[in-house]
Amino acid sequence: MSVPARIAVLASGGGTNLQALIDRLNTGGSAAARVELVVGSRAGIGALERAERAGIPALALDARTMGAEAFRDALAGALETHRIDLVVLAGWLQLVPAEVVARYHGRMVNVHPALLPAFGGKGMYGKRVHQAVIAAGARVSGATVHLVDERYDEGAILAQWPVPVFPGDTPEMLAARVLAVEHRILPLAVEALARGATIPVVDDAPAAFDLVAAPAPPDASIRRTMHVPGPIPRA
């Protein structure tokens, strides 16, 4: 049996996407990957509390107070110490040092709350994204899991899934709908990347769904949108 890929999750908030990863990869007994480290952008956030409850090593690294070089060295050191194979940015709101991005080229992924390349780029995160989607009159939004490179939100797309934008939606309503999709596709994309798997195509899946008001579709209907470039190199 192959050794599961060792995952580090970087988070800046409550950690609901981290929890989705823990539920599938750790608690769910995935053979492909396990969350082995959580890095929070400041002390006291929900993501670090979730890591503690799950028994996962965790630390807070605040680039604003540490300074760029100290933050870079501390982050790189933590990833090396814990022998991390794959880094997941799950609501991470700090710039990842270029040296760390380069070291984990092809092994660092981010989840973005829109259908890239639309509504991405510098400054487009959180509520700002949903405000922009509604202001543009878009009728479809969604979530994207993509590889991280040196440019904001321009790395290769691994997985996407759309959700509808309804008349009368507020940014908070749309955010809840998109976040529910993130909780489904992020663990699947990370697991698939860890396996280097070929994802089967399912032709009869719905074009969009609302996970807030309707039952979730089976995993296979989500996987049809994924493209995995191949096995990740291990640390």
Cα torsion 130, 17, 93, 119 to 10°: value is: -30
* Residue 119, both tokens: 């509504």
DSSP tag of 26: I
Partners of 58 in beta bridges: 38
Question: Domains of the chain by range and CATH?
Answer: 1-104 (3.40.50.170), 112-145+159-230 (3.40.50.170)
Catalytic (active-site) positions: 112
Q: Which candidate, 116, 83, 229, 112, places its Cα nearest to that of 181?
A: 112
- CA dist., res. 162 & res. 156, Å (int): 17
Partners of 116 in beta bridges: none
- CA dist., res. 235 & res. 98, Å (int): 18
pTM attached to this predicted model: 0.84
In angstroms, the Cα distances linking 160 to 6, 26, 86, 204 are 24, 23, 19, 17
What does each of the 235 residues of the chain score in pLDDT, given as a tens digit?
A: 478 999 999 999 999 999 999 999 998 777 789 999 999 999 999 999 999 999 999 999 999 999 999 999 999 999 999 999 999 999 998 889 999 999 999 899 999 999 999 999 888 888 999 999 999 999 999 999 999 988 888 888 888 889 999 999 999 999 999 999 999 999 989 998 898 754 333 344 433 444 444 455 566 655 445 555 666 667 6
CA 179 to chain centre: 11
